[in-house]
Structure 1
């Protein structure tokens, strides 16, 4: 019942139930927790995309049957280490939801340090044939977004990371 004795209908919101209690806290604390995302995502208003050069889209089309054969899954990073004698490769031990660890190698060491990726939820294509690199069998490929900077040969790479609430093995459609 509402304060006026009338019936009260509750609608779900994204606001926490104790938000009124938190309203009294300092603005700095509110700002820090409002965008709590483990430090990986920035507010789009704070990102300058003016210096980004986007590659043109492929003109060749892929039919739906070919695309649907790709198995994209959410994977949790259990362990990540630099591959010895390689400047580029990181070796990931992943939980793909099957109960058996999956190993994937990725040439992203110049963009990420191994320890910052442990515990993250990434996207992988899991039904590629195994491929040996530096004597280690890689069973899949992690997805990333790559862009070049205008007036530069520099490249940015960002692993696709998703919400950690998505369970290992969740299929993407």
Structure 2
């Protein structure tokens, strides 16, 4: 058999995820987190930071919400404008690079063949900004 006749099976990537938490959280504690649908109005790289992206978000309140996220290694700002994402909106503001970040965008992290991957939780664009996740 020559090389052209050999058929190689595709190699499946080795995907790894973190183990589930063993500690249980009661429903009252969980229900204190306010998960909301947000729409990305603007997104830009934070000057003097290699990791941070600055998001201006529509959270359905009529006032822009600012969230900073250390995901620049995984996304370019322009590819996120117009996307529908999921955020926790009732975290206390956290100052990063002199800017208050008012919430956290939700993402999934895993490794493929030893390389870390991150995917923002993106939702159907038909879901309006401000919709609550239950």
**In 1: Cα distance, 2:111 partner to 2:25 partner:** 25
Partner of 1:38: none
Give the direction of change, closer, same or farther, for the CA distance of 1:78–1:49 in structure 2 (3 Å limit): farther
From the two aligned structures, give the one with the greater helix fraction: 1
Per-residue displacement from partner, 1:52-87 (whole Å, max 9, x unpaired)?
Answer: 012110001100000000000000000000000000
Q: TM-score, normalised by structure 2?
A: 0.90
How many Å apart are 1:149 and its aligned residue? 2.4
Computing the radius of gyration from Cα coordinates, the structure with the larger value is 1
Tell me: higher relative CO, structure 1 or 2? Use CA pairs within 8 A at least 6 residues apart.
2
Residues 21-170 of structure 1: pairs in structure 2 closer than 5 A: 50-150=13-113, 152=114, 154-170=115-131
Give the secondary-structure state (helix, strand or coil) at the position aligned to 2:29. helix
The runs of at least 4 consecutive aligned structure 1 residues that moved more than 6 Å come to none
Runs of 5+ unmatched residues, structure 1:
1-47
Q: Secondary structure at the match of 1:84?
A: coil
Higher strand share: 2
Tell me the number of residue pairs that the alignment of Structure 1 and Structure 2 aligns.
124
